[in-house]
């Protein structure tokens, strides 16, 4: 007799198998006990009939508590009534680990309670589905970039400077020298792009922001590609192809998970249609003002403005060429204007706002050095970065995708924290 996982049950119809499971719920109806089982790969039902086991065993099944671990032995059958499509007719079971007073009972619980018990909440069907979708997005990310000749580069997590020109950094002592938890690997990716042409990083980022919005985290994961010999328009094409690829991969490989969280697949399908619309920052300001938004040229957009713009197009939309004063020092100057830079944010519809920020990078040594000084930083900290402009610099562009923001959008969640396996305690202080 073979020991299998639930996910492989369709390959063993009418066969007797053994599975290690946890009991997520149960109910009984006279001479039948219905056990809701999970093993980490999937959820399905086990049916135990009183006539198939001893009376002692049947009574033991009725007393099993939520999250008891056990081996179940039985025959796999098709079950067209269930979402999974298969169930087990149980002939025997063996308790492995008892469970007493499991706190997340099958009733409604508030988000704060669930996050306080995140180490256990992971076992429930919704977070299980969300994190399987997260895993698919990560898998598809590697497939997308590997298939397009990108090399993965791991940027350091401890840095001595602030690439985004912000003071919102976690500071630590590095053997007597100031160091900071990294907020982006982009500058290192630029160096790697000059060696490999096309690179990307995937890793954690940290920002010391006591934000009370549901769109910000102190720790999050970023995918950051950087591409040599590439201007901004070509970068935008890569960005929209990447987003469409991720959405299609989730549609193709996470049907059951999307059903669990109630995400409409037909809505997702329209986000695979390219190209995405584009609008300049100038025109976006005009559009907002025409629709009674109190915004002036030069301000960064907040949640209401981003929501309106994306919903106006009913698609992800690129907003192009923001004011230089509100963007990072490394962004390339516009060829005919001194007040804007060549950059773009990709805004997601349905109220989720920015999911990608990117730009073409400036290649002029003196200009970048002056911009570093203007941002209040020491050019000596960037000697290595400025070297890239001294030794064969080329046009290059890049962008960053916030994994949790993307996941929150495609899964239609209210909280970024629900898309992270183990959100830090600090992320629960500011709901």
What one-character-per-residue DSSP string does 208-256 give? Answer: -----STT--SEEEEEEEEEES--HHHHHHHHHHHHHHHHHHHHHH-HH
The domain spans of the chain are 6-97, 119-418
Positions in the chain whose pLDDT score sits under 70:
161-167, 211-216, 423-431
Residue 422: what pLDDT? 74
The tokens for 285 are: 């300001």
- Sorted by sequence, the CB contacts under 8 Å of residue 223 that are 6+ apart come out as 141, 200, 201, 202, 400, 401, 403
User: Per the CATH hierarchy, to which homologous superfamily does domain 6-97 belong?
Assistant: Nucleic acid-binding proteins (2.40.50.140)
Q: What angle do CA 66, 27, 55 make, to 5 degrees?
A: 95
pLDDT at res. 429:
39
Tokens coding 431 = 């709901």
Do residues 345 and 357 lie in contact, with contact meaning Cβ atoms separated by under 8 Å? Answer: yes
Burial 270-289 (b: 16+ CB within 10 A, else e): ebeeeebebbebeebbeebe
Instruction: Give the predicted TM-score (pTM) of the model.
Output: 0.93
Q: Which of 416, 419, 420, 402 shows the shortest CA–CA distance to 202?
A: 402
pLDDT in tens, 88-141: 999 999 999 999 999 999 889 998 899 889 999 999 999 999 999 999 999 999
pLDDT at 212: 54
Give the pLDDT of residue 163.
Answer: 60
The domain 119-418 having CATH identifier 3.30.930.10: the answer here is: yes
418's CB contacts (< 8 A; 6+ apart) are: 127, 130, 408
pLDDT at 272: 98
Q: What is the pLDDT of residue 269?
A: 98
Distance CA 16, CA 75 (A): 4
Q: Which DSSP string corresponds to 26-94?
A: EEEETTEEEEEEE-SS-EEEEEEEGGGS-HHHHHHHHTPPTT-EEEEEEEEEE-TTSSS-EEEEEEEEE
């Amino acid at each position: 007799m073979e020991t299998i996982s639930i996910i492989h049950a369709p390959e063993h119809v009418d066969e007797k198998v053994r599975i290690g499971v946890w009991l997520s719920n149960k109910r009984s109806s006279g001479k039948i006990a219905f056990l809701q089982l999970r093993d980490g790969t999937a959820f399905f039902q086990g049916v135990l009939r009183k006539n198939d086991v001893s009376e002692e065993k049947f009574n033991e099944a009725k007393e099993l508590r939520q999250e008891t671990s056990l081996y179940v032995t039985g025959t796999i059958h098709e079950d067209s009534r269930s979402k999974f499509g298969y169930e087990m007719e149980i002939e025997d079971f063996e308790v492995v680990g008892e469970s007493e007073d499991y706190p997340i009972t099958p009733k409604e619980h508030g988000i704060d309670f669930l996050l306080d018990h995140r180490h256990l909440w992971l076992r429930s069907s919704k977070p299980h589905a969300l994190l399987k979708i997260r895993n698919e997005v990560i898998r598809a990310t590697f497939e997308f970039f590997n298939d397009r000749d990108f090399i993965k580069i791991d940027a350091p997590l401890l840095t001595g400077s602030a690439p985004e020109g912000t003071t919102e950094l976690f500071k630590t002592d590095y053997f007597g020298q100031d160091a900071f938890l990294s907020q982006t690997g982009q500058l290192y990716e630029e160096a790697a792009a000059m060696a490999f042409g096309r690179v990307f990083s995937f890793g954690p980022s940290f920002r010391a922001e006591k934000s009370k919005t549901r769109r910000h985290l102190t720790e999050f994961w970023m995918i950051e590609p950087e591409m040599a010999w590439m201007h901004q328009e070509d970068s935008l094409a890569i960005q929209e192809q990447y987003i469409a690829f991720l959405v299609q991969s989730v549609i193709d490989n996470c049907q059951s998970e999307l059903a669990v969280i109630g995400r409409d697949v037909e809505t997702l399908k329209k986000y695979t249609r390219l190209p995405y619309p584009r609008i300049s920052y100038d025109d976006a300001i005009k559009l907002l003002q025409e629709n009674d938004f109190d915004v002036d040229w030069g301000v960064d957009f907040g949640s209401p403005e981003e929501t309106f713009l994306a919903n106006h197009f009913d698609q992800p939309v690129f907003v192009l060429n923001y004011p230089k004063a509100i963007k990072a020092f490394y962004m390339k100057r516009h060829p005919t204007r001194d007040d804007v830079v060549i950059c773009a944010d990709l805004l997601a519809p349905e109220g989720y706002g920015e999911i990608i920020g990117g730009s073409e990078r400036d290649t002029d040594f003196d200009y970048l050095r002056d911009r570093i000084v203007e941002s209040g930083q020491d050019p000596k900290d960037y000697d290595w970065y400025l070297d890239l402009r001294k030794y064969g610099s080329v046009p290059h562009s890049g962008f960053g995708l916030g994994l949790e923001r993307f996941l929150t959008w495609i899964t239609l969640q209210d909280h970024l924290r629900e898309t992270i396996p183990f959100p830090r305690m600090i992320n629960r202080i500011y709901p």
